[in-house]
Structure 1
Amino acid sequence: MSLPCREKEFENIYRFIEGKILDGAGGCMYISGVPGTGKTATVQEVVRSLQEAVSRRDIPDFKFIELNGMWLTEPRQAYVQLLNALTGQTVTAEQAQQLLERRFSRTAHRRITTLLLVDELDLLWTRRQDVVYNLLDWPTKAASRLVVLTIANTMDLPERLLMGRVTSRLGLTRVTFHPYTHKQLQEIVMARLRGLQAFDPDAIQLVARKVAAVSGDARRALDICRRATEFAEGDAEGSDGTVAMQHVDQALAEMIASTKVQVIRYCSKMEQLFLQAVASEIQRTGVEETVFDKVYIQLRTLCVFDGYAVPSVTESLGICARLGSCRLLLTEHSRADMHQRVLLNVSSDDLYYALKVL
C-alpha cells in the first residue's frame, strides 16, 4: 500500500525491484528529492510489499539490507557493515571491500538477490569517492544479483560525486520525489485524521498552504497539526475541542517565535544572504558540509540577483565569523580563510520560515 500522493513513485520503485528479482539481475536506482517528501517511507513500504509477495510465493526470496550514512563513523564502514550483514564476518574496511568485490564478481547459482538500501548517500562522500563508486558499480556486474537503492536530497549527486567518471555506464534508473503541493499536503493530513472530526477543514487547508509555500515538507505540516491540537486541547473547556484556524495560527506563531528563527530575523541583510548562500550550496551539492569559497560564489550570485553590492572576501569572512559566533553556522576555528569548512547549524525550514512571510 503506497503512501498518499506517492502512488506513482511507489509503483516505479516496486516494478524496478520486482523485475530485477524475477530476472536474477543486478541494478541500481537513484532516488532523490528534498527532505520530507516521503522518499524513505515509500521505499520501506515497497520493501514490506515485496516481502509479502515472497510469503505468497509470487516472487523469489531476497535479502534486504539497510545502510544509512548517518549510522557510519566513516564512509568505508559501509563495506564492513554490508559484508557483516551478508556473511556474519567482521573484518577491516579494506578486507571487506576485497571480499565484496570478489563476491559480486563471481557467479553463484544458489545465491538469492540482495536488496541494499543506502539512505543519506551524500554522507558517504569522500575525496577518494571509492565507496559511492563501488556501491553503484557492483550491481552492473553480471553475477552480482545486487539491487541497490540509493536515497539523497540532490538530483545530480552521482555526477557531482563521481567527478567525471562515466555515470551513464552505471545504468542508473532515477526517481525524483518533488515537494508536495498544498493539495497533496491537505490529502496527507486528512489521511492521518481519517475517522476523526477533530480538525476544521479550513484549518487543514491553512496548514497545507503555509507549508507548501515554504518547503512542501509533510513532516513539518504534521508537526504544526500536532502543536495546533495541543493548543485546542488547552482551550477545551467551554469548547467542542475542534482544532480551528486560530489554533493553527498559534502553532505557526510559536514556530516563527523560536529562538533561532528570531536570531535569523535580527541578522543584517548581508548575514541573511550569507545563510541563504550556505543553504543554496548545500542544496546544490546534497552534501551538508561545504567550504567558504563555494559559499562565496553563491553569495555573489545572490547579491547580484537581489541588487546588493557584493562584499569583499575579507568582509564575507567577517560575516561568516559572526554567524559562527552566534552558532547559526558551525565553522572551522583553526582556519579563517577561503578553504575553511562551513556547516549550517539551523534547519533549512527554520531558515526559510525566518526569511519568508508566512
Structure 2
Amino acid sequence: MSCLKSHQISLSFSVSRATTPSRRKDLKAIKEPSLGVLPEVDNENSPMLPTAMTPRSSKRKSAQLVSSRIRRQLGTQLDFNSDGEDDEEFLPSKKELQSSSEDEEEEEKVDSDEEVAVKKSKRGASGSRTPRSTQKTRSSTRTPRKTPSKKTTPNTPRTPRHITPSIPSRSLPARQPANVLEEASTRLHVSAVPDSLPCREQEFQDVYSFVESKIMDGTGGCMYISGVPGTGKTATVHEVMRCLQHASDMDEIPPFHFIEINGMKMTDPHQAYVQILQKMTGQKATADHAAALLEKRFSSPAPRKETTVLLVDELDLLWTRKQNVMYNLFDWPTRRHARLVVLTIANTMDLPERIMINRVASRLGLTRMSFQPYSFKQLQQIIMSRLNKVKAFEEDALQLVSRKVAALSGDARRCLDICRRATEICEHSAPNPSSTGLVGMTHVMEALNEMFSSAYVTAIKCASVQEQLFLRAVIAEFRRLGLEESTFQQVFVQHQALCRVEGLQPITVLEGLAVCQRLGACRLLLLEPSRLGVQQRVRLNVSQDDILYALKAD
C-alpha cells in the first residue's frame, strides 16, 4: 500500500509539473507529431493561424493528453489488486469526475473545431490561398496593363468611319419675300450671286484670252492684277475660270487643274508651299519639304502633265525679307516643263516696284492688268443689275448713293451695303408693312450717316490736328509701300512732310510718339506691344474709307 501511495503521489506531482509553463515546450513536442498543425479559425474574416501558435488550445490539449496517459497507467496498475478496499481508495471523487467531464466536452469541441478547420483548409487549397477580402482590395487597387478589348457582337452597333455628315432637309420651305423691299434687300446682299458682272467686260476678255492661250500652247506665264478693294478683281477671275472649266468639259480646250490660295488665310508666307502641294497632289509635308517637292515637280518633264492655273490672292501678304516665296512663285512658270500659269492679285498697282527686288520683279514680267475704281454710272448700273427690274428705289436716291461712294473709294461692296441698309430703314419706317413705298432721299441719307458716323468716325472728327495729320500720314505710307503695315519712323517722315505742306510747325519725335500712343489708346491704331520706340510697327484698326470720309467732312 505504501508503495502504491508513493507511486500515486509521484504521478500527481508529475502531472502538476507537466501543467506548469516550463513544460510547455515538451507538451508541444508531444502534441505535434500526433495531431499535426491544423488551422483554427475563430472568425471568417480573420486570417488563419495554426493551432500550435494559439496559447489556449495548446494548454488544453497538453493537459488532456497527460491526464489520459496517467489514467491508462493507473488503470493497468490497479488491475493487479483484487481487494475491494483498494478499489474504493482509488475511486475518483466528484470533483475529479466533474473535471474529467469538462475535459471530455472540451476535447469534443476541439475535435469539431479541427474538423471545421480541415474543411476550410481544403476549400482554400482548391481555390486561392489569399482571403477574399485581401483579393478584393488588391484587384481594386491594381491598374490593368492594357485596355480590355471590346468584342463586337452582331447586335452591337459599330461606329461609322468614312461617312459624310448630311444636313437634314427643311421641314418647311424657305420664306419668300413678303414685299418688294424684302426682295430688294435679299438681292443687294454682298453674298448674293449675281447673274452677270457688268462694267468688267474688257478685263474679263483680257484675262480669259491670256489663260486660254497658255493652256492651248502648254506653256507657263504670270499675270499681275491690281486695283483698289471692291473693284471686282477676284470675282472676274473666278468667272474666267468657271468659263474655262466649262470649255474644258466640252473638249474645246485641253484639261487643266485650278488651284487658289489666299495670303490672308496664312499665318506664315511659307505655308503657301504646303497648300499648293496639298491641293495638287493631296500630300501633306512641311514647308521646306513641300518647296523641294514642288521644285522637282515643275523642273522634271512628264508625258501627260496637265497645265496648272494658280491664283494667288492678297499677294502683298506673302512678302518676306528675302522674298524667296514670291521669287519661287514667279520663277516656276519660266521653267520649260512646268506648265504653270500664275495669276496674282493685289491692291496696289505699283507693288512690284515698291516692295519687290529686281530679280523678283524681272520674273514677274510685264503682263499686268489694273482694275480702275468704279465711277458713279458704273455703280448705278451694278445696283440696277442686282435688282433685276425690281422697282424699289427712286432714281434720285440711287444716284445719290452712287455719287457718294464713287467720290470716296469706288467700292461696290460699300455701295451695296448702304442700299441694303436704306431698304431696311424704309421698311421699318412705313406705317403699314404691306403698303411700303419706294426708298427715297431721306432713307439714303440716314443710311449714309449710319455707315459713316460710327464711333471711330466720331473719334477721328474729334481728334486734334496733329492726330488727324498722323492718320493721313499712315494712309500715305501704306499706299507708298503697298502694305498694310509700317513702322513709326516711316510714318513720322510722312507726318513731317504733311506738316510742311499744311504750313504747320513739325513736331519732335517724342511728341510724335505721344500722338501715336493716344491714337492707339483710342483703338484707331494697332501698335506693337514692345519697347522699340521708333521701330514699333503700326497698323490701322479702321478702314481707310472711314478716315477719308471723316477728314473730308471736316
- In 2, the alpha carbon distance for the partners of 1:275 and 1:342 equals 11
Deviations 1:11-62 (A, max 9, x none): 1111110010001010111000111111111111111111111112111111
User: Could you say which residue in structure 2 is the equivalent of 1:13?
Assistant: 207
User: Could you say which residue in structure 1 is the equivalent of 2:298?
Assistant: 104
What TM-score does the superposition give when structure 2 sets the normalisation length?
0.63
Deviations 1:151-180 (A, max 9, x none): 011112223332232623442410101111
Matched, 1:52 2:246: yes
Counterpart amino acid of residue 180 in structure 1: Y
User: Could you say which residue in structure 1 is the equivalent of 2:529?
Assistant: 333
Query: Which of the pair has more CA radius of gyration?
Result: 2
Is the contact between residue 2 and residue 42 of structure 1 (CA under 8 Å) also seen in structure 2? no
Matched, 1:309 2:505: yes
Deviations 1:191-230 (A, max 9, x none): 1112200011111100000001111100000000000010
User: Could you say which residue in structure 2 is the equivalent of 1:355?
Assistant: 551
Is the contact between residue 273 and residue 291 of structure 2 (CA under 8 Å) also seen in structure 1? yes
- In 2, the alpha carbon distance for the partners of 1:157 and 1:85 equals 27
Matched, 1:342 2:538: yes
Question: Which of 124, 129, 140 pairs up with 2:318?
Answer: 124
Cα deviation, residue 299, structure 1: 1.4
Is the contact between residue 133 and residue 162 of structure 1 (CA under 8 Å) also seen in structure 2? no
- In 1, the alpha carbon distance for the partners of 2:496 and 2:349 equals 24
- In 2, the alpha carbon distance for the partners of 1:162 and 1:204 equals 42
User: Could you say which residue in structure 2 is the equivalent of 1:321?
Assistant: 517
- In 2, the alpha carbon distance for the partners of 1:137 and 1:166 equals 8
Question: Which of 430, 446, 450 pairs up with 1:250?
Answer: 446
Question: Which of 472, 475, 481 pairs up with 1:285?
Answer: 481
Matched position secondary structure for 2:310 = strand
Matched, 1:208 2:396: no
Counterpart amino acid of residue 205 in structure 2: E
Question: Which of 260, 277, 290 pairs up with 1:83?
Answer: 277
Is the contact between residue 348 and residue 482 of structure 2 (CA under 8 Å) also seen in structure 1? yes
How do 1:153-302 and structure 2 match up within 5 A?
153-165=347-359, 167-237=361-431, 240-302=436-498
Percent of residue pairs bearing the same amino acid type: 61
Deviations 1:226-260 (A, max 9, x none): 00010111123256421111110000111232111
Matched, 1:22 2:216: yes
Matched position secondary structure for 1:64 = strand
Counterpart amino acid of residue 233 in structure 1: E
How many corresponding residue pairs? 358
- In 2, the alpha carbon distance for the partners of 1:218 and 1:134 equals 34
Matched position secondary structure for 2:320 = coil
- In 1, the alpha carbon distance for the partners of 2:200 and 2:502 equals 36
Cα deviation, residue 333, structure 1: 2.2
- In 1, the alpha carbon distance for the partners of 2:353 and 2:292 equals 25
Matched position secondary structure for 2:534 = coil
User: Could you say which residue in structure 2 is the equivalent of 1:93?
Assistant: 287
Counterpart amino acid of residue 419 in structure 2: C
Structure possessing the higher relative contact order (Cα contacts under 8 Å, 6 or more residues apart)? 1
- In 2, the alpha carbon distance for the partners of 1:135 and 1:87 equals 17
What TM-score does the superposition give when structure 1 sets the normalisation length?
0.96
User: Could you say which residue in structure 2 is the equivalent of 1:150?
Assistant: 344
Runs of 4+ off more than 4 Å = none
Is the contact between residue 199 and residue 244 of structure 1 (CA under 8 Å) also seen in structure 2? yes
Is the contact between residue 299 and residue 336 of structure 2 (CA under 8 Å) also seen in structure 1? yes
Counterpart amino acid of residue 275 in structure 2: Q
Deviations 1:113-147 (A, max 9, x none): 10111001111111121111111111111111100
- In 2, the alpha carbon distance for the partners of 1:162 and 1:92 equals 26
Show structure 1 runs of 5+ residues with no match: none
- In 1, the alpha carbon distance for the partners of 2:538 and 2:482 equals 14
Q: Point out the more displaced range, 299-308 or 192-201.
A: 299-308
Is the contact between residue 355 and residue 482 of structure 2 (CA under 8 Å) also seen in structure 1? no
Q: CA RMSD in A?
A: 1.5
- In 2, the alpha carbon distance for the partners of 1:342 and 1:170 equals 29
User: Could you say which residue in structure 1 is the equivalent of 2:332?
Assistant: 138
- In 1, the alpha carbon distance for the partners of 2:213 and 2:553 equals 47
Cα deviation, residue 312, structure 1: 1.6
- In 2, the alpha carbon distance for the partners of 1:22 and 1:205 equals 44
Counterpart amino acid of residue 71 in structure 1: K
- In 2, the alpha carbon distance for the partners of 1:123 and 1:230 equals 37
Cα deviation, residue 344, structure 1: 0.5
Show structure 2 runs of 5+ residues with no match: 1-194
How do 1:27-42 and structure 2 match up within 5 A?
27-42=221-236
Cα deviation, residue 336, structure 1: 4.8
User: Could you say which residue in structure 1 is the equivalent of 2:33?
Assistant: none
Is the contact between residue 354 and residue 482 of structure 2 (CA under 8 Å) also seen in structure 1? no
Counterpart amino acid of residue 278 in structure 1: V
Is the contact between residue 373 and residue 409 of structure 2 (CA under 8 Å) also seen in structure 1? yes
Matched position secondary structure for 2:374 = coil
Counterpart amino acid of residue 307 in structure 1: G
Counterpart amino acid of residue 528 in structure 2: E
Matched position secondary structure for 1:356 = helix
